[in-house]
Structure 1
Amino acid sequence: MLRSRRAPRLAAAVASAALLLVTATACGGDDSGSDSADAGAKASASGAFPVTVDHKYGSTTIKAEPKRIVTVGLTDQDSVLALGEVPVGTTEWLGGYKGAVGPWAADKLGSAEAPTVLKDTGTGPQVEKIAALKPDLILAVYGGLTKEQYESLSKFAPVVAQPKQYNDYGVPWQEQTETIGKALGKPDEAAKAVNETEAAITSAAEANPAFKGASAVMATPYEGMFVFGSQDPRSHLLGDLGFTLPKDLDKAIGDQFGANISKERTDLLDQDVVVWQVGDVTKDADTLHKDASYKDLNVVKQGREVFVNETSDYGNALSMGTVLSLPYVLDRLVPQLAAAVDGKTDTKVEQPAS
């Protein structure tokens, strides 16, 4: 069951529009129509302002259409790109991609210059470098800004911090996209973008009825066994595909997006399927299968594990869990999940070709 209340579809509309523009240009047609459409879109966005967005530290009013957007939220750039805008600055989380833009979103850059990449060194946003980019909007929706960091950034631009109703880094991708759409004056486009991705997830779920009601959990062998909670985007995806999460999951990990579990709580991993994000599939699987607290679980003995290389584009896209990365993930994850829950212990869960 999808968490968003809406179901619109942007990518198809954008693709169709792009195709029409290319065709018109190739035929030597007059481009006044496209100029008019662009002007209309800009006028529509401009008419949405001022707009006020609520968040963990109160509310922020954006008085005019932003032109220089900096994303401090670790995945916010994908929502911005999905809405037809290119940030001037992004914050790198994983992958080392140019502009902090993964391959699932790279085509959204078009001919624009790649964003300047900022670093989160563990002490928070690089305030001085962000200020040097002269932003007129700072987005930190998928993030964990402290009140002090929020106030520092707010001195030189409006800041949209993480929503208060979720754990830090726990906002569902639907609300992330819709919140950013509101801040950019593009709520309708955001709704359409959400629906395009939701439609892909719904299609995958309907094509795999075995997912419905089956139990699943996401984990990684980080400093032992780290399990992702119900508010993490990875867990959101499992739920949206029809899986149920362990009933004691959030009670065991507390008010966080995820946490390490004790050897006594490996029962949380003994589900119909467990999805492991690992650094090396062969090596880490072998290490896990030697762990006395894990190796004899039914999920292991019956071959219901899925392993994802977390440093691959696929693994990065899964971690990002955005409106743009999720379709890329579905193409790879769904066949693995289907193999894991097919009821046959001899079915091998294959790694995707790329």
Structure 2
Amino acid sequence: MTRESERAVPAWRPEIATRREFLAGVGALLLLLSAGCAGGGGGSQGGSRAVEHRYGVTRISGRPRRVVSLGYQEHDFLYALGIKPVAVRYWYGDRDDVIYPWAEDEAGDVDPEILNMPFGQLNFEKIAALEPDLIMGVYAGLTREEYETLSEMAPTVAQPRGYVNFGAPWQRATLMAGRAVGREGRARRLVSGLERRFEEARREHPEFDGATVAVASYGNGEKIGFFSSQDARARFFTGLGFRVPERLEELARESFYGTISPERMDLLDADLLVWCQLASTEGGREAIEGDPLVRRLDASREGRVVFMEGTLDDALQFGTVLSLPFLLERAVPRIAAAVNDD
């Protein structure tokens, strides 16, 4: 398996702003999909079914056997559902494959073909040669033109309505994938099981409830990125009870991220400051900790900072039904220690 070591999408990458909205939204979504409101029959055993998305409705018959996953982390949802795609899309990092530790058991020994297709550069000829019977693109940021071209090859599921590109919550993505492959019951169980894990974490850590969090990416230090509640990274923390400060939400507007100049680093001061994407930060953690503008933040001086490094950072960026349990187990103790730092 070969691929170039270039990022497939911009380094920055919609919406559950509060715990109440988080739970209510999931409940409503489960009710809708279990009632078949996405159109068509139930399809739980691989029968005919329909999946709604931004560009219309995709009708799928039977149990797909040659699934191509074009969403950057979408293969996680498929593996969780017991589906092994014939091809998955490379995203980032100097890795020989795209299967991360949390998905290794589900992926098994079957190696998918790795598609090195940066954002906006789909190789339609190569995709067609894979002879897919289903193409999943919930996290691919497909344009209408790309969707229409792919739909000529096989039934294609694009990103859902109502969310920015790459902004569908993991619950929505799991349920869409479950419906597409005819395994809705399994998808619902995955969602409810993970929801219970988040609920347990909130009960164990009431100090998270209502606390503010800024999730940031340092980059080269010239422009500081941050993530809104429409992004998977920040949404992990809102799922724990945190909230993104309104000032950052306003700066990001309708996007999942925003940028600030180093001189406005003060905008990142929050009850918890999280630095992610350290692998793409010039100088890594040391560069961040050595920046005088970072050091003067109250969060920095008081130790209310968490650095997401290595596989923790990867799990946060993926934000899937497989990576989030991995993250909950390993990151929550660090988060609690930072928030409770005296």
Please classify the TM superposition score into its range, dividing by the shorter chain length. Answer: 0.7 to 0.9
Shift of 1:190: 0.2
- The residue that corresponds to 1:322 in the other structure is 320
Contact kept, 8 Å, 1:124 with 1:149, in 2: the verdict is: no
| CA 1:98–1:193: 2 relative to 1, 3 Å | farther
Alignment of 1:182-201 (within 5 A): 182-201=179-198
Alignment of 1:226-241 (within 5 A): 226-241=225-240
Contact kept, 8 Å, 1:45 with 1:65, in 2: the verdict is: no
What code does the residue aligned with 1:296 have?
A: R
- The residue that corresponds to 1:298 in the other structure is 298
Contact kept, 8 Å, 2:44 with 2:185, in 1: the verdict is: no
Contact kept, 8 Å, 2:215 with 2:273, in 1: the verdict is: yes
Say yes or no: does 1:130 pair with 2:127. yes
Shift of 1:75: 1.1
- The residue that corresponds to 1:107 in the other structure is 105
| CA 1:186–1:120: 2 relative to 1, 3 Å | same
- The residue that corresponds to 2:26 in the other structure is 5
TM-score of the superposed pair, with normalisation by structure 1? 0.80
Contact kept, 8 Å, 1:100 with 1:115, in 2: the verdict is: no
Alignment of 1:208-287 (within 5 A): 208-223=205-220, 224-263=223-262, 265-277=264-276, 278-279=278-279, 283-287=283-287
Shift of 1:284: 3.5
Shift of 1:333: 1.2
Partner of 1:279, secondary structure, is helix
- The residue that corresponds to 1:174 in the other structure is 171
- The residue that corresponds to 1:20 in the other structure is none
**How many pairs does the alignment contain?**
305
CA–CA separation in structure 2 for the residues paired with 1:130 and 1:143: 14
Shift of 1:229: 1.2
Across the aligned residues of Structure 1 and Structure 2, the Cα RMSD in angstroms comes to: 2.2
Contact kept, 8 Å, 2:82 with 2:106, in 1: the verdict is: yes
Alignment of 1:33-44 (within 5 A): none
Say yes or no: does 1:339 pair with 2:325. no
Q: Deviations over 1:108-143 (max 9, x none)?
A: 1235x2111101224332222111111010001112
Structure 2 residue ranges without an equivalent (≥5): 1-18, 29-41
Shift of 1:206: 1.4
Partner of 1:105, secondary structure, is helix
**Runs of 4 or more consecutive aligned structure 1 residues displaced over 6 Å after TM superposition:** none
Say yes or no: does 1:117 pair with 2:138. no
TM-score of the superposed pair, with normalisation by structure 2? 0.83
Partner of 1:226, secondary structure, is strand
Q: Deviations over 1:53-88 (max 9, x none)?
A: 111111211122211101101111011111111011
- The residue that corresponds to 2:161 in the other structure is 164
Alignment of 1:147-162 (within 5 A): 147-162=144-159
CA–CA separation in structure 2 for the residues paired with 1:189 and 1:98: 30
Shift of 1:254: 2.6
Partner of 1:306, secondary structure, is strand
